[in-house]
Structures are given as C-alpha cells and as structure tokens.
Amino acid sequence: MNTALSSMELANLGLSMLPRTKQGVEYHAKKGNWPFEEMAGKGRGGKLKKYLINGLPVEIQTAIKQKQAAELLASAQPAQLPSVVKKANTPARRKLEQLGLPINEYADDLTDKQRDCAHARMAIVAEVLKMHEVAGLKITEAVVYVAQQIEQGLLPEPLAGFVSVANARANSKRGISVRTLKEWVSLYRGAASPTERLAALAPNKTKKTRSLHEIAWLEDWLAVWMPARVSAKWNMCKASCRK
C-alpha cells in the first residue's frame, strides 16, 4: 500500500473531509503544513510532490487507511476449506501448501468439521493481519473494522461464506464479536507453525450429555451414599434410573 499520495491522488479518493480537486487539496496541505517528499514524476521541474500519509491529520489518516483496508478486503482470495480440498484437484491442494497451510499433517484427533472451522478462522484472521501490516491499521482497529464489515454483511465472497463455518455453532448469529476475533488473532499470532495454528483455532468437540439411564452404577451408588432422609429430588432421580 502507498505511504505517500499526490494531491491528485488524495482528491480522487473521494473522502468527505478532503476537496475533490488537486488545487483544493494543495491549499489545505499548504495551510496545514503537511509533510511531503518529492519524487521523479510529472510535476514542476520533473518532480512530483507526495504527501506522507502518516503526517496527515489523524481524521484523514484514518479515512485513507480504512479505504485501503476496504480495497484489500475486496480483493481477498482465501484458500478453500480442507474438506473441499480433499475432493479438489492437485492445483488447489498445491495452493494450500504454498500458503503454508497444513494438508496431511493435521492434528490426529480433529474432525473435518473442526479443521474447516479452524481454517475459516485463520482465513478471517489473515485478513485482519493484512489490514494491520499492509493498510497500516493498528491491530485493534483492524479487528474492529473486519468485525464491523461482517456485522453489516459487507464482507466480500468467498470470505463471507467462512463466517458461519468459523462460528462453529448451530443457529449462530452471522456476526463475530470484536472480543472473539481479537482472541483468534492472539491465538494465531502466538502459534509457531501452521499445525499449531490449526490446533489453537479449532473448536472443542461438543460433549454428548449422558442420560441417567446410561449410568448403570448410579442406583447402587445412591443407595450407599444417600442418607436415610432422602430429598424428593433424589427420589425422583432414583425412580428415573429404574425405568
């Protein structure tokens, strides 16, 4: 992403706080004493003046970075989910390998659903980090921006399709909270390898609730453990076990 923009480039951004003409931007730049650098180009004396984004007023900096972030997000091309790649052709598998994502060396006890969820989360986190590293947003700003795009339904396809997979909950809301996304980013950055990221971001398996009828020893245990004056609640429990 650009770190400096000419007056024409700034005008063409269409930001509400900037004039839409080259002359108008240059007037504000001179008045505000915006820092700049001169580069070879079509300008006076063969030099083109470009204003340093990090030296612009904070409001303008933020607007520019968010616009650049939006452009990055719109061009997102996340890798396919593992369950899809299993059935895909060799080029698709090779793309995952080139991105450093594990294909055959998954954690042994993860199901396809868990792997898909972990990869969906990694894809979303990767876009957050791209906002940070390329567009210049702080991590928290990038997290908030992506979370807002998800909440407002503005995330581009195919990335938008990863949201429901990343949530990993039945009937879950389409959005992902800032807190949750920030936690995923922390786990992702704390992992030392793709396999570690996979394990860190995979959801836990849902434990099946056991019925009292499945606990064969419960009635005998209650008979020994419970005092003589058994509560009505435990009487109901024992009666249930006998059914």
pTM (two decimals): 0.61
SS3 231: coil
Cα-to-chain-centroid distance, residue 192 = 18
Query: Residue 96 — very low, low, confident or very high, per pLDDT cuts 50/70/90?
Result: very low
| Burial (CB count <10 Å: 0-12, 13-18, 19+), residue 169 | exposed
Q: Which residue has the tokens 């058994």?
A: 230
SS3 23: helix
- Express as a percent the part of the chain with pLDDT over 70: 66
Mean pLDDT, all residues of the chain: 78
Rounded to whole angstroms, the Cα distance separating 210 from 6 reads 67
d(CA 169, CA 218): 32
Q: CA distances (Å), 166 to each of 87, 118, 142, 159, 184, in order? A: 21, 7, 18, 11, 10
Residue 45 has pLDDT above 60, yes or no: yes
Asked whether the predicted pLDDT for residue 233 surpasses 70, the reply is no
Question: Per-residue pLDDT for 239 more than 80?
Answer: no
Of 111, 192, 180, the residue nearest 144 (C-alpha): 180
Reading the block at residue 158, the tokens are 């195919």
- Residue 104 pLDDT: 45
Which tens digits make up the pLDDT trace of 147-205? Answer: 999 999 888 887 888 899 998 765 555 689 999 999 999 999 988 877 788 888 988 76
Query: Of 37, 13, 39, whose CA–CA distance to 25 is shortest?
Result: 13
Nearest to 4 by CA among 65, 50, 47: 50
Task: Between 54 and 172, name the one with better pLDDT.
Answer: 54
Domain range annotation of the chain:
4-56, 74-201, 212-242
- Predicted pLDDT of residue 47: 84
The band of 243, judged by pLDDT with boundaries at 50, 70 and 90, is low
Task: For 203-229, write each residue's pLDDT tens digit.
Answer: 876 545 455 555 666 666 566 655 555
* 4-56: CATH, from 1.10.10.10, 1.20.1050.10, 3.40.50.150, 3.40.50.300: 1.10.10.10
Question: What is the DSSP annotation of 102-166?
Answer: -SS---TT--HHHHHHHHHHHHHHHHHHHHHHTS---HHHHHHHHHHHHHTT-PPTTGGGHHHHH
* Span of 34-38, 53-57, 237-241 with lowest mean pLDDT: 237-241
